[in-house]
Amino acid sequence: MSQASWETVDVTIIGGGPVGLFAAFYAGMRGMSARILDSLPELGGQLTALYPEKDVFDMPGFTRITAKQLAKEMAEQGTQFGADLVLGQTAQDLVEQEDGYVITTAEGARLPTRTLIIAAGAGAFTPTRLGVPREAEFEGRGLSYGVLDKAALAGKRVAIVGGGDSAFDWCLNLAPIASEITLIHRRDQFRAHEDSVRQVLASNVKKHLWSVVRELHGDSALEGITVENTQTKTCDRLEVDALVVNVGFKSSLGPIKAWGLTIEKNLIVVDPRFETNRPRVFAVGDVCTFPTKLKLIATGVGEAVTAICFAKTYLDPDAKLFPGHSSDMDLFQTGHS
Ligand SMILES: Cc1cc2nc3c(=O)[nH]c(=O)nc-3n(C[C@H](O)[C@H](O)[C@H](O)COP(=O)(O)OP(=O)(O)OC[C@H]3O[C@@H](n4cnc5c(N)ncnc54)[C@H](O)[C@@H]3O)c2cc1C
């Protein structure tokens, strides 16, 4: 159950993608309490949702790193100061208060904050649904979009829908613990990394190719699915305990557009401090626009540093804008000088 009312924090960051994660890290560096809100259940934004297996070559310090490993490192760095995580919830409304704002989520949480950084990328990601009857009824009762709790699938019969990296990653990840895995994909070609495809095809994962899920069965929880082979038009009923759907994401800036911010071509206009037209509200990363904007992680994280430093001056007018060098700080009491 989601906690409905939360404490006030110095900064709330909408978006747990790479730029939002670095904003959370930098907030910690500046001694600010922080909260990250994301509509997805997992941190990483586009890195995790759209291209986990692709190599990224333009990150400082990494000659090459997969997007999912980069997301993992950035999540570790971004949360090490103890930022609150509000995941699986979408920012809906923004109401100004005397000393900041209250964000409410579509799921009913109330999140008071002194400053706000919007790092919402192309907007809130929501999973693409199968579009079959009773889908909403079984969501959270056996049907999920991605895996929230891997351990809960131990010993279970799991069907996985999709032909991309997420579907193949979950086949490989769950193989050691699930009692049976069935992969269902609408074609016989896959968009996943070729090594993952090779491993899954060589494994004992059952495959239903050229197949789609047509029906869901069960009373209070999912007990089975009907799968149709679109070439032969034959249907099979499979007894399963869990159905994991990985057929992509849709994104939408949605409610943020109604927050009174200046928007141009679906992007939030910012000044050189990365502040929007509303005081204490900043926007960074893919969601913001200014004349020299580049949509890259390397530039987005720099924007996040500047925005956090200006947000800090709202909280403490005597605070220096320039934070000093991290190498001169003993942030984690390592004892190094
Ligand atoms: C295939 C592909 C390859 C790429 N390769 C590279 C590369 O090699 N190098 C590079 O620098 N860049 C690359 N990029 C671009 C890079 O991924 C983006 O620039 C980067 O992800 C932007 O980060 P962000 O944190 O601003 O937004 P995102 O990563 O988009 O994260 C935004 C997050 O905000 C959340 N969110 C949005 N609205 C709400 C809301 N209302 N409530 C709650 N949560 C919300 C979303 O769910 C999402 O998780 C690539 C992009 C793609 C698609």
Cβ pair 43, 87 in contact under 8 A? yes
Ligand 1 touching residue 117 (CB < 6 A): no
Ligand 1 touching residue 120 (CB < 6 A): yes
Tell me, yes or no, whether 134 and 166 share the same domain. yes
Tell me, yes or no, whether 59 and 168 share the same domain. no
Question: Does residue 151 lie within any of the structural domains?
Answer: yes
Cβ pair 174, 241 in contact under 8 A? no
Tell me, yes or no, whether 29 and 170 share the same domain. no
**Residues written for the chain:** 337
Cβ pair 112, 95 in contact under 8 A? no
Q: Which residues pair with 239 in a beta bridge?
A: 224
Tell me, yes or no, whether 162 and 26 share the same domain. no
Tell me, yes or no, whether 197 and 305 share the same domain. no
Ligand 1 touching residue 52 (CB < 6 A): no
Tell me, yes or no, whether 199 and 266 share the same domain. no
Q: Of 247, 269, 291, which marks where a domain is finished? A: 247
* Total-model pTM: 0.82
Determine which residue's CA is closest to atom 17 belonging to ligand 1: 46
Residue-wise pLDDT for 94-112, tens only, equals: 999 999 999 999 999 999 9
Candidate of 55, 297, 299 to mutate for ligand 1, largest count of ligand atoms within 8 Å of Cβ: 297
Ligand 1 touching residue 59 (CB < 6 A): no
Tell me, yes or no, whether 185 and 224 share the same domain. yes
Tell me, yes or no, whether 158 and 242 share the same domain. yes
Integer angstrom CA distances of residue 8 from 16, 110, 314: 19, 10, 15
Question: Does residue 334 lie within any of the structural domains?
Answer: no
Residue 143 Cα to ligand 1 middle (Å): 26
Cβ pair 99, 106 in contact under 8 A? no
Q: Residue 34 belongs to a domain with what CATH number?
A: 3.50.50.60
Q: Of 222, 247, 272, which marks where a domain is finished? A: 247
Tell me, yes or no, whether 136 and 115 share the same domain. no
Ligand 1 touching residue 91 (CB < 6 A): yes
pLDDT category of residue 16 using cuts at 50, 70 and 90: very high
Question: Does residue 336 lie within any of the structural domains?
Answer: no
* Rounded Cα–Cα distance for residues 144 and 243 (Å): 6
Candidate of 19, 42, 46 to mutate for ligand 1, largest count of ligand atoms within 8 Å of Cβ: 46
Ligand 1 touching residue 149 (CB < 6 A): no
Domain that residue 17 falls in? 9-126+250-328
Determine which residue's CA is closest to atom 33 belonging to ligand 1: 15
pLDDT category of residue 154 using cuts at 50, 70 and 90: very high
**Ligand 1 atom with the shortest distance to the CA of 284:** 26
User: Nearest Cα to 67, choosing from 186, 164, 189, 175?
Assistant: 164
Tell me, yes or no, whether 290 and 209 share the same domain. no
Answer yes or no: is 91 a known binding residue.
yes
Question: Does residue 333 lie within any of the structural domains?
Answer: no
Q: How many domains does the chain have?
A: 2
Per-residue pLDDT at 332: 74
* Rounded Cα–Cα distance for residues 82 and 166 (Å): 28
Q: Of 227, 247, 267, which marks where a domain is finished? A: 247
Answer yes or no: is 316 a known binding residue.
no
Is the pLDDT at 2 greater than 70? The verdict is no
Residue 289 Cα to ligand 1 middle (Å): 14
Question: Does residue 109 lie within any of the structural domains?
Answer: yes
23 Cβ neighbours under 8 A, 6+ residues apart: 11, 13, 34, 78, 117, 119, 284, 304, 307, 308
Residue-wise pLDDT for 284-328, tens only, equals: 999 999 999 999 999 999 999 999 999 999 999 999 999 899 988
For the chain, what percent of residues have pLDDT higher than 70?
97
Cβ pair 50, 73 in contact under 8 A? no
Residue 75 Cα to ligand 1 middle (Å): 14
Residue 259 Cα to ligand 1 middle (Å): 21
Q: What's the chain's average pLDDT? A: 94
- HEC string of the chain equals CCCCECCCEEEEEECCCHHHHHHHHHHHHCCCCEEEEECCCCCCCHHHHCCCCCEECCECCECCEEHHHHHHHHHHHHHCCCCEEEECCCEEEEEEECCEEEEEECCCCEEEEEEEEECCCCCEEEECCCCCCCHHHHECCCEECCCCCHHHHCCCEEEEECCCHHHHHHHHHHCCCCCEEEEECCCCCCCCCHHHHHHHHHCCCEEECCEEEEEEEECCCEEEEEEEECCCCCEEEEECCEEEECCCEEEECHHHHHCCCCEECCEEECCCCCECCCCCEEECHHHEECCCCCCCHHHHHHHHHHHHHHHHHHHCCCCCCCCCCHHHCCCCCCCCC
Determine which residue's CA is closest to atom 41 belonging to ligand 1: 91
Tell me, yes or no, whether 95 and 136 share the same domain. no
Per-residue pLDDT at 244: 96
Determine which residue's CA is closest to atom 26 belonging to ligand 1: 285
For the chain, what percent of residues have pLDDT higher than 90?
83
Tell me, yes or no, whether 226 and 80 share the same domain. no
